[in-house]
Structure 1
Amino acid sequence: MNIRNLLIWGIVLLLLLALFNLLQGPQQGNAAREISYSSFINLVENDSINTATYHDDRIVGQNQSDGSEVYAILPPNDTRTQDILTANEVQIAARPRSGNSIWSILLGWFPMLLLIAVWIFFMRQMQGGGRGAMGFGKSKARLLTERHGRVTFDDVAGVDEAKEELQEIVEFLKDPSKFQRLGGKIPKGALLVGPPGTGKTLIARAVAGEANVPFFTISGSDFVEMFVGVGASRVRDMFEQAKKNAPCIIFIDEIDAVGRSRGAGLGGGNDEREQTLNQLLVEMDGFEANEGIILIAATNRPDVLDPALLRPGRFDRQVVVPNPDIIGREKILKVHMREVPIASDVDPKTIARGTPGFSGADLANLVNEAALLAARRNKRLVGMSEFEEAKDKVMMGPERRSMVMSEKEKELTAYHEAGHAIVSINVPEADPVHKATIIPRGRALGMVMRLPEADKLSENYTQMTSFLAIAMGGRVAEELKFGKERITSGASSDIQQASRVARAMITQWGFSDKLGTIDYSDGSGQNVFLGQEITRSKSISGTTARIIEEEVRRLIDQANDTARDILTKKKKDWETLAQGLLEYETLSGEEITELLKGNPPTRETDDSPPTSGKPASAVPTTDDDEADTKKPASRPKKGGAAPQGT
């Protein structure tokens, strides 16, 4: 890029020099004074001129009396001037004729040609280059027709319902007459809706691969430019190209960049984005189904799209692409494991069970992390231990074994995490404990990870109150073991999680007899009832706000009392688990169960799997005043139930 800028400045400099020479040339030529031919000959004969120079049709000499230059126009067919100059011993010089040479003509036109070339260059730069100086309105859609890298439905797993919805489009592109014989019309557009990373773009490419038709792809942000009308022109050009290649598919990724509801911006009806949307609406409703143009778009924000974009005749069909369930996750893992040498102990079903809430992109990242970890260990196959460690890294963050913790901090962390685990084991309808560790991960000094036995779409009141008790179990454990005056800030994240859940139970989910089933949340959103938009806004009186705070406090106090009762009754188990964490640092769910039965886990002396931890002596025991005491949740929920870590 620096060389390119230097070339540009070099061209500009040459242009300036050429213009300077062009302007200065005539001035230098007019410095000599014109006299008659007879006067010039008299000066020569009087020895006033000693040198003379021929310039095309004139002769120039210097007057010795005053030092000025004079010139005279030579007569036609002159033959005697040179003899006179020779007879008076005048030195004669000559300049070549340039008036009729091609070089002189080019030199004269050079500044203008250079100016035109620079203007064309900057015009191409302003509109992105590659399409000519007047190609602003050309579509930026890329046509993908190559056989290499073709994607089919076999490469898409975990979204069976979405594939069934789009299978009809594939059949239409293959055999349109099948539907036209019965008067059926294929949907003109399909909108793929789902969270990020669920494979919406991959599904669109699979539709084109299955139908074996041209596939135009463009992003919603590629339509809008700084010049008014460019977006609408590009929409028209895109559909013109599609008609020439029909049957085909047009895929617009992130359509919310151009398809937002009109009237919400500052530009009003003249806004460039709204003009582009208007043209897109006209083109979608203008072409006929028998032309074979299918428009597929993807977005993860369908709530902001313009209603006219979603009406029948445009995007007739909305296909939801959610996060996969356990069966879908297993299929996705098998697809990504095709390119990775897998050891015999790897079970995709077990990994799928331990990754609730993961999207397809998350699972691809999990397989890649496991492969990188195996490569660092110089292994030829990726084993289950690498997948377990990669899963822990993705869900809880990387281990910070280099972090220095004092013995007092390690003991406090062990009893804190043991409190979470013991409460989790003894409350009703809680997810099983998958792992407990006091090895710092991410910003947390320790973590107890719980995984559901199956995907959950909702939770009941008992499960919510159990979660509150588990969240408060760590702080209660610190109080029971070390005293109220030695409670640390390590439970800050637990308190935040418990407070959010308790407030949602009261204000959104109707779990309060005093407030009833009324939404008191402070969020805002839009809904439609009987064709009218209803805007929800916060309107809570002081009395209602006080009741909300009292109800939230009641739930938190009940959770504290439940955790305190469990840890008091199960003090022996709590102490045993805390000492086990101090010795082994990391315990799996099965190891915790056996440890509470009196069977301590057996560890190998050489490389142990990441889930088994290391002896406590492996961690430095010097003090560290900068230890991070925050303990956030291991992973936010995505759709279904996500793994919970406290």
Structure 2
Amino acid sequence: MKEVRPPKRPLIFYYCVAVLILLLFNFLAMPWLAQRQIQEVDYNTFVEMLEDGQVGLVQLQEQENRVLFTNTEETAVYKTALVGDPDLTQRVLDAGASLTGEEIQQTDPILSFLLSWVLPIVIFIALGQYLSRRMMKNMGGPNAMAFGKSNAKMYVKSSEGIKFSDVAGEDEAKENLKEIVEYLHDPGRYREIGATMPKGILLVGPPGTGKTMLAKAVAGEANVPFFSMSGSEFVEMFVGMGASKVRDLFKQAKEKAPCIVFIDEIDAIGQKRNSGTYGGNDEREQTLNQLLTEMDGFEENTGVIILAATNRPESLDPALTRPGRFDRRVPVELPDLQGREDILKVHAKKIKVAEDVDWNKIARMASGASGAELANIVNEAALRAVRDGRRFATEADLEESIEVVIAGYQKKNAILTDEEKKVVSYHEIGHALVAAKQTNSAPVQKITIIPRTSGALGYTMQVDEGNHYLMSQAELENKIATLTGGRAAEELVFHSASTGASNDIEQATKLARAMITRYGMSPDFDMVALETVQNQYLGGDSSLACSAETAAKIDQQVVELVKRQHEKASQILSENRKKLDELAQYLYEKETITGDEFMEILNK
């Protein structure tokens, strides 16, 4: 359960409380303490003390109807009632006492000094110390005052840590990292032949592919200290603190060598330097410069290996990625078919699964999924099994969890009208029928018209039989035709168009533009790159690199390409109108059909 903390009060609140305490003390406590110091005597005693010469100061307070007086040393204060004595003034003067109109000090001067000056200062100092500790605790815990010190976490070999056996689907990356672990365990084998290990290894790849998990596996396998730190932890509010942290981190690493230092999200401090930027970037550049200096200052075979992870390698400074600093770049890409199957089996060990699950089929359905998404798919299957009251997850649970990741949960309360349901049925069958009637198209796995939380009113799932690394021009054109099949079916049957094809239009346009600008599949432009891709691991944003006239020609060819495939899809559906009606009616009644059912009706 997440801890619920009370809201933090502003600093002015504490200062107001301190001032209020002092005011209450001065107006309430001080008068009370002063009253405690006055001794009350009768008038006869006052007269006797006058006659004996024991009175120093005398103050007549007619409004209060009392007399205040002190002894000769003025160390004690007395009070008595003021009676009608006309000779009192003369008697006081004859006794050698002094009449005064000023207020007689009712408390001890030392006590008054302590209460009036020392006590407020002590209160404000204590308040300042409390607020200082509170602020430093919020900034970084008990070690917050250790500015410039590295707060890297250090791990050692653990019996319960992640091992290489817990990481699947990235065999090449594991081989590279296993070599590092072996070098740290037995460097003599490599020194004998004169080989040296890379000073730095950079793990690059899309989010969720397991870069951090691979680093944890190294920590679990290596029987050496393992320092882990995020790139953002180097950036501080004080200038120069990031560079100081880098120095301290490498100092600790050299003392603990042989060891491994892991910097996650290194692009936070390793971005390309720009001489035209000042201010906030200056601190980051100082940190980067210190990191470059420390990595270049290593002597050979010191046994300190630097691991770093990023999904933005193109943004890193060239001085950081050159040989001698990060000598080796290890790509951690999305897993292939066999890799997805292995990853699913690794995560399936954590839950109870039916024995008859076809993991190859599940891996094919999850094409393009990262390791984190595959772990989520397995967990969603387990959650679905619990919701349905089963003690283990089945293949149907895994298939449904893939659909949840792709299109969201089923919207059980979304009820389509008969007309909408019929339009969606023809739309989805249009996709499936165009795909089935074309060669080199992925087989249809499932067709459904049940609305999903992603906004889709239905979808057609196609699953490749095996690994697919290259796509020909004909295959790409067939894919565009399949995407336009839904709209073509609506136009053929209802002679109108709906808003349901918005996502199809977006994907078809994007694919057609890539064919012309990036894949060189246009006879007019030949093998000329007209578009550049940035951040390939974070969405792959693209930008045109051509003149306005060329951009206009590109737009024209994109329209012609999509229009041509749209006409091809319409022709395929017109030639198979009876099958279109039969399949759409069957889907309308069943709401969800499998690829086998679809092919059985199509080939009947």
The residue identity in structure 2 corresponding to 1:496 is E
Kindly provide the CA deviation profile for residues 297-319 of structure 1, in whole angstroms up to 9, marking residues without a partner as x: 10000000011111122111111
Q: Which moved more, 1:353-362 or 1:560-569?
A: 560-569
1:539 is aligned to: 546
Pairing partner for 2:72 from 57, 71, 74: 74
Q: Once the 2 structures are TM-superposed, how far is the Cα of residue 132 of structure 1 from its aligned partner?
A: 5.1
Pairing partner for 1:508 from 497, 501, 518: 518
Pairing partner for 1:243 from 245, 254, 259: 254
Pairing partner for 1:433 from 444, 447, 451: 444
* Structure 2 contact 377–405 (Cα < 8 Å) conserved: yes
**Does 2:453 align with 1:416?**
no
Q: Once the 2 structures are TM-superposed, how far is the Cα of residue 22 of structure 1 from its aligned partner?
A: 9.2
**Does 2:124 align with 1:115?**
yes
1:365 is aligned to: 376
Mapped partners of 2:475, 2:535: distance in 1: 28
**Does 2:411 align with 1:400?**
yes
1:63 is aligned to: 60
Mapped partners of 1:269, 1:375: distance in 2: 51
Mapped partners of 1:216, 1:133: distance in 2: 19
Mapped partners of 1:327, 1:265: distance in 2: 48
Pairing partner for 1:150 from 133, 153, 161: 161
Mapped partners of 1:22, 1:8: distance in 2: 22
Distance 1:580-1:65 versus aligned 2 partners, 3 A rule = closer
* Structure 1 contact 231–273 (Cα < 8 Å) conserved: yes
* Structure 2 contact 357–394 (Cα < 8 Å) conserved: yes
1:460 is aligned to: 472
Kindly provide the CA deviation profile for residues 557-602 of structure 1, in whole angstroms up to 9, marking residues without a partner as x: 321221122112222221221111012111111111112234xxxx
Tell me how many residue pairs correspond in the alignment.
558
The residue identity in structure 1 corresponding to 2:367 is P
Q: What RMSD over aligned residues (CA atoms) do the two structures have, in Å? A: 3.9
Kindly provide the CA deviation profile for residues 208-265 of structure 1, in whole angstroms up to 9, marking residues without a partner as x: 2111222221111111121111111111122222233332221111111111001177
Q: Once the 2 structures are TM-superposed, how far is the Cα of residue 471 of structure 1 from its aligned partner?
A: 1.3
Mapped partners of 2:354, 2:63: distance in 1: 104
**Does 2:579 align with 1:573?**
yes
Kindly provide the CA deviation profile for residues 355-389 of structure 1, in whole angstroms up to 9, marking residues without a partner as x: 11111101000000000000001101111111111
Mapped partners of 1:587, 1:3: distance in 2: 53
Secondary structure, counterpart of 2:246 in structure 1: helix
Mapped partners of 1:147, 1:508: distance in 2: 48
* Structure 1 contact 374–386 (Cα < 8 Å) conserved: yes
Mapped partners of 1:510, 1:475: distance in 2: 28
Mapped partners of 1:133, 1:464: distance in 2: 57
Mapped partners of 1:7, 1:445: distance in 2: 50
* Structure 1 contact 523–537 (Cα < 8 Å) conserved: no
1:604 is aligned to: none
Distance 1:2-1:219 versus aligned 2 partners, 3 A rule = closer
Kindly provide the CA deviation profile for residues 427-474 of structure 1, in whole angstroms up to 9, marking residues without a partner as x: 121111111111112211121111111222221110011012111111
* Structure 1 contact 139–238 (Cα < 8 Å) conserved: yes
**Does 2:302 align with 1:305?**
no
Kindly provide the CA deviation profile for residues 380-409 of structure 1, in whole angstroms up to 9, marking residues without a partner as x: 111111111111111222222321111111
Secondary structure, counterpart of 1:192 in structure 2: strand
The residue identity in structure 1 corresponding to 2:545 is K
The residue identity in structure 2 corresponding to 1:569 is E
Gaps spanning 5+ residues in structure 2: where?
35-42, 77-87, 93-104, 537-541
Secondary structure, counterpart of 2:461 in structure 1: strand
Pairing partner for 2:502 from 471, 492, 497: 492
Q: Once the 2 structures are TM-superposed, how far is the Cα of residue 525 of structure 1 from its aligned partner?
A: 9.1
* Structure 1 contact 124–133 (Cα < 8 Å) conserved: no
Pairing partner for 2:399 from 385, 388, 400: 388
Mapped partners of 1:409, 1:459: distance in 2: 35
Q: Once the 2 structures are TM-superposed, how far is the Cα of residue 189 of structure 1 from its aligned partner?
A: 1.1
* Structure 1 contact 124–132 (Cα < 8 Å) conserved: no
Distance 1:518-1:392 versus aligned 2 partners, 3 A rule = same
The residue identity in structure 1 corresponding to 2:19 is L
TM-score, length of structure 2 as denominator length:
0.82
The residue identity in structure 2 corresponding to 1:118 is L
Q: How does 1:577-588 map to 2 (within 5 A)?
A: 577-588=583-594
Kindly provide the CA deviation profile for residues 133-171 of structure 1, in whole angstroms up to 9, marking residues without a partner as x: 632222121122373631111111110000111112101
Q: Which moved more, 1:141-150 or 1:316-325?
A: 141-150
Secondary structure, counterpart of 2:177 in structure 1: helix
* Structure 1 contact 524–537 (Cα < 8 Å) conserved: no
1:206 is aligned to: 217
Mapped partners of 1:508, 1:501: distance in 2: 10
Distance 1:208-1:159 versus aligned 2 partners, 3 A rule = same
Q: Which moved more, 1:387-396 or 1:366-375?
A: 387-396
1:556 is aligned to: 562
TM-score, length of structure 1 as denominator length:
0.77
Q: Once the 2 structures are TM-superposed, how far is the Cα of residue 270 of structure 1 from its aligned partner?
A: 6.8
Q: Which moved more, 1:317-326 or 1:103-112?
A: 103-112
1:448 is aligned to: 460
Gaps spanning 5+ residues in structure 1: where?
32-40, 79-87, 527-534, 599-646
The residue identity in structure 1 corresponding to 2:566 is N
Distance 1:222-1:341 versus aligned 2 partners, 3 A rule = same
Pairing partner for 1:141 from 144, 147, 152: 152
Pairing partner for 2:486 from 465, 474, 483: 474
Distance 1:23-1:227 versus aligned 2 partners, 3 A rule = farther
Q: Once the 2 structures are TM-superposed, how far is the Cα of residue 516 of structure 1 from its aligned partner?
A: 2.3
Mapped partners of 2:122, 2:577: distance in 1: 92
Q: How does 1:228-307 map to 2 (within 5 A)?
A: 228-263=239-274, 266-267=277-278, 271-307=282-318
Q: Which moved more, 1:243-252 or 1:302-311?
A: 243-252
The residue identity in structure 1 corresponding to 2:485 is G
The residue identity in structure 1 corresponding to 2:188 is S
Distance 1:252-1:560 versus aligned 2 partners, 3 A rule = same
Q: Which has the higher contact order (CA 8 A, sep 6+)?
A: 1
Mapped partners of 1:123, 1:77: distance in 2: 42
* Structure 1 contact 520–540 (Cα < 8 Å) conserved: no
1:347 is aligned to: 358
Query: Identity of paired residues, percent?
Result: 45
Pairing partner for 2:185 from 174, 177, 185: 174
2:337 is aligned to: 326
Q: Which moved more, 1:442-451 or 1:513-522?
A: 513-522
* Structure 1 contact 324–360 (Cα < 8 Å) conserved: yes
Distance 1:476-1:134 versus aligned 2 partners, 3 A rule = closer
* Structure 1 contact 156–202 (Cα < 8 Å) conserved: yes
* Structure 1 contact 158–332 (Cα < 8 Å) conserved: yes
Distance 1:95-1:114 versus aligned 2 partners, 3 A rule = closer
Secondary structure, counterpart of 1:196 in structure 2: coil
Mapped partners of 1:46, 1:64: distance in 2: 20
Q: Once the 2 structures are TM-superposed, how far is the Cα of residue 5 of structure 1 from its aligned partner?
A: 4.6
The residue identity in structure 2 corresponding to 1:375 is V
